[in-house]
Amino acid sequence: MPEIVGKEVGPIGFGLMGLTWRATPPSQDQAFEAMRTAIHNGSNCWNGGEFYGSPDYNSLVLLERYLEKYPEDADKIVLNIKGGLNPQTHQVDASPENTRRSLDNCIAQLKGRKQKIDMFEFGRRDPAVPMDVTFDLIDREYVQTGKIGGIALSEVRAETIHEAVKHTKVVAVEAELSLFTTDILENGVAAACAQYGIPIIAYSPIGRGMLTGQFKKFDDLPKDSLLLSLNFPRFQQGNFEKNMQLVEKVEEIAKKKDCTPAQLAINWTRTLSRRPGMPTIIPIPGATTADRVEENTGGRYPEIIPTNT
């Protein structure tokens, strides 16, 4: 079993973003059912955000309510939270003042339901603040005092990882990775993580939903979808139709493997860890229903032979 911050986690984690950060979030009961299914299937590496939703209904608020109902799950969850956005500017702000504000707010929103946040990361690097200033503060005031377990990085370049390890122990790096998005395999990020023994938390392993098979044509995309409002190129008309040709190829392979396209895509990401010179990779597919969580984490997974290509 993989380990993060000294704790065992399942080979597949769980992304919380879609449970609170969407135009119409699922009901709390539906979210709880999905979360409970993830725990039941051993998907205990959970990834959320202070800014995944409104201040009164984000990942931390939902998690606090979940743990009020299921307190026995608190010690099972290895929790990674991203924060650091300045609520006034809506920009990443790693100044000491905003670092304390963000961390204190995240901790307070859990209301003591969980002993501590296992990993904390800024959504992006703040180039205006020296890395050692931010990390020294977090280490001294939060890690060493037991308020959080450690510092992770999100959406960083390889050179940032090489610099960060000089100032702190980096417990994980979060990055996008899927059959559609393989940048970190080629730009030095995966290699840097392997060099320092840092696990990668791989978000969007099913291509932001495109590899689930639920979208067949452009009109299948929900009109209130963040995929459209945020103008992801992959989901724009013209691009969408071309990408669906690639999805059809994945569906053909999945059929031969007797699994769903999502299961194939997730297991491809997970299997990359077995390539020589690769770090541990933990995909964190998001889902808003128990059935989808069951498919992503509890279903049959095909054997994929890793290669160097």
**Domain membership flag for residue 138:** yes
| R_g of the chain computed on alpha carbons | 19
12 close to 127: Cβ distance less than 8 angstroms: no
- pLDDT of 124 higher than 50: yes
Give the domain extent around 292.
3-208+262-296
Give the per-residue pLDDT at 212: 75
pLDDT of residue 228: 45
Does residue 266 sit within a domain?
Answer: yes
CATH number of domain containing 202: 3.20.20.100
For the cut 80, the answer to whether the pLDDT of residue 38 exceeds it is: yes
| Nearest-angstrom CA–CA distance, 47 and 4 | 13
Q: Is the pLDDT of residue 231 over 70?
A: no
What is the average per-residue pLDDT within 107-116? 97
Distance CA 155, CA 174 (A): 6
Backbone angles phi, psi at 45, to 5 degrees: -90, 105
Q: What's residue 95's pLDDT?
A: 97
* The predicted structure's pLDDT at residue 238: 67
How many domains does the structure of the chain reveal? 1
Residues annotated as part of the active site: 52
Type of residue found at 12: I
pLDDT at 226 over 80: no
Q: What is the mean pLDDT of residues 14-30?
A: 93
pLDDT class for 299, splitting at 50, 70, 90? low
Which of the four pLDDT bands, split at 50, 70 and 90, describes residue 223? low
pLDDT digits (tens, 9 = 90+) for 263-285: 999 999 999 999 999 999 999 99
Task: Give the end-to-end CA distance of the chain in Å, rounded to a whole number.
Answer: 25
The reported pLDDT for the residue numbered 229 is: 45
| Token representation of residue 135 | 């990390």
Mean pLDDT within 77-84: 97
71 part of a folded domain:
yes
The pLDDT value recorded for residue 220 is 64
Query: Can you tell me the distance from the alpha carbon of 183 to that of 168, in angstroms, rounded to the nearest whole number?
Result: 25
Residue 213 within any structural domain of the chain: no
Q: Is residue 67 part of a domain?
A: yes
**Burial letters for 47-84: b for 16+ Cβ neighbours within 10 Å, e otherwise?**
bbbbbbbeeebbbbbbbbbbbeeeeebbeebbbbbbbb
pLDDT band for position 207 (cuts 50, 70, 90):
confident
Does the residue 243 lie in any domain?
no
Taking Cα atoms as reference points, which of 261, 198, 282, 264 lies closest to residue 13?
282
* Residue 169 included in any domain: yes
- Asked, for residue 241, whether it belongs to a domain, the answer is no
The mean of the pLDDT values for the chain is 90
